[in-house]
Structure 1
Amino acid sequence: ATTAADVLVTTPSAFADLLDEAVDDLHARTFVFTGEALPAALARQAARSAPGARLVTLHGHPETGPATAHAAAEGGPGPAPEAVLAGTPLAGVRAYVLGAGLTPVPQGAVGELYLAGGAPARGYRGHGGLTAGRFVADPYGPAGSRMFRTGDLVRRSADDRLELLGRGDTEATVRGTRIAPAEVEAVLTGHPGVAQAVVVVRAGHGPGGTGQLVGHLVPADPYGAEPAALTEEVRAHAARYLPPALVPAVLMTLERLPLTPDGRPDRAALPEPEPAGRPYRAPRTPHEAALCELLAEVLGVERVGMNDDFFELGGNSLLATRLTSRIRKVLGVSVPLRSIFESHAISELSRTVKNAGTSSRPRLRKMDRSGQ
């Protein structure tokens, strides 16, 4: 099929579906993406599907309408950016990046985006409390003017463009660590094999019923790497660019993301992680048996086999830290925390621990119920 248009206005998620419908050639002079952040991989697909087309992203809210815009440099979007660009304010719009007490934050620091000028709404009809919390007095504009508190986390780049870092009101806490899913999604879509990514916190999927960070990936090439190989590559990619606490415990691949009627990812419709179902393989050596015993202790499960995966069993950054401490204390081997994320399969982790202990023979000690 062929789609021809001078200007194609769409959400990134709807555009991904359009590509999936085997559109061979998109004859559009300008792509305008709005409604959600544009992943770098999808921007590259748009540039390839219509060479020479102009890529524009519009950012705004129903309360303000389009407020900022960014046009990709000629020749395409280039390498994946570290942050999604919201661009610069449109004519008549004032954009502030503010911190506590509505004070401006320094250039490069993260703050919340406030929008004023243009044609913002006056408030929410019948919801005075919500209006007072979102439409606040503008201390930097004309007397009596108001500004809209967007809830977007942004920072100003060196060339005075706004970098969109996610939503402050979608942050979640997993085992005491505050997580902004959009920050993780930006890194995941920076991998060339990922077209789209949505990260959610699944309550009750971690050990002891705690939350667990789950990433849902749409491959850039549906006929490329096997799902297991892709998730391994993406996990290693995430471990290079994110602190351990922000690396998703589970990565799942989907043919496409479920969408809401307005073309945005439907987070509530994303599938739940499937329980780990790997066939059990018993440890064969004292070294493997000691490691599996440690893992079962740290994860709070009955047994761990050599085919199991640390994160599929409920592992996370806090438990990974605890595991490295127990390995050092019980086996006498110092293993870097990052190696848990890079070698999370138990068989791989066993080799990592064994290699780390080649210079000093591991000291296997019997553990009592208190872990001493």
Structure 2
Amino acid sequence: MQFRDLKKQYEVLKKDIDQAMLEVAASSAFIMGKQVKELEQQLAQYVGVKHCVSCANGTEALTLALKAWGIKAGDAVFVPDFTFFASAEVVSLEGATPVFVDVDVDTFNIDPAALEKAIEKTIKEGKLQPKVIITVDLFGLPANYPAIRKIADKYHLLILEDGAQGFGGEINGKKACSFGDISTTSFFPAKPLGCYGDGGAIFTDNDEWASLMDSLRVHGKGSFKYDNVRIGMNSRLDTLQAAILKVKFDAFKNYELNDVNKAANLYTDKLKDLVKTPVIPEGYLSSWAQYTIQLQDEKQRDGLQAYLKEQGIPTMVYYPKPMHEQTAYLGLGYQSGDFPATESLCGKVLSLPMHPYLTEEEINKVCQAISQYLA
């Protein structure tokens, strides 16, 4: 059993993916070939925004957004404490300071009440200038944007939606990667829509920011690539990856997103009386980057993980360590107990195999093994 079965996906899509890769090889347009622009147009239309700017990976998508906004030393950027390191790393790389915020124990996403408290505290301290909220659509579920947008407007902050795990999610029919002033996603192979290497994309309705990020991703280019009008970076999406993504995007839209939700519903139906299963608020749709259950405590979680491994069932812990406890951020001065929800989750969460090609038989095997261990 695979945690995320990319081999099975390739077997299903092999003919079209092979053809797409061969077309790129035959054209020799390996950098910024026509498939890149075609993909950007398709993604923008799907998400429902004016502009999609592709780039080298999801981390640099966040970086390009922060650079477009001129985020710098002295600025405060609010980041959930329960997330992957990149969500805060990009803030530090611009010289700004990440201010960590606790999350909701049910959705795993940033807690709006905790966010407002963190903003108020930062304003009161007067050391940093609040500028941006980086929301994270963790495990495929969009954050609570109706509440977060009200807070952002109240304090005149920008929203940067980190949709690395959230592409395909929705709130009342509105797509993930359209909720931020700028939104980003990642095409890392294991993401809901992944390529065969690294890749990322940025989404916005703002013409000026889109143009600026288009320039920044190619060494700050002006009217042509040897007219460099600003200091930029090298962050292009390879044509080969764009061609692969076009094929996989069709499958994602046509059946994968639907099938992964069927798999999640089956898990929940079988596990809801055994463990705490993921909560999907009314009107929300998840793209299920992960299916994450919660156990009673770390001992039970680690024991179950070891037992499942013995049964040939792969699992992962996302995430075992809060952001505020990362060695790189110990200097920020946070204390144990500052983020009770995150600290609790890090000892309880366990992610199960989840992908569109998961069979009912495989789901039954996972659920039966969990039931046996907890009996």
Q: Would you say same fold, with TM above 0.5?
A: no
Larger relative contact order, structure 1 or 2 (CA cutoff 8 Å, min sep 6)? 2
TM (norm. structure 1) is 0.27
More helix by percentage? 2
Higher strand share: 1
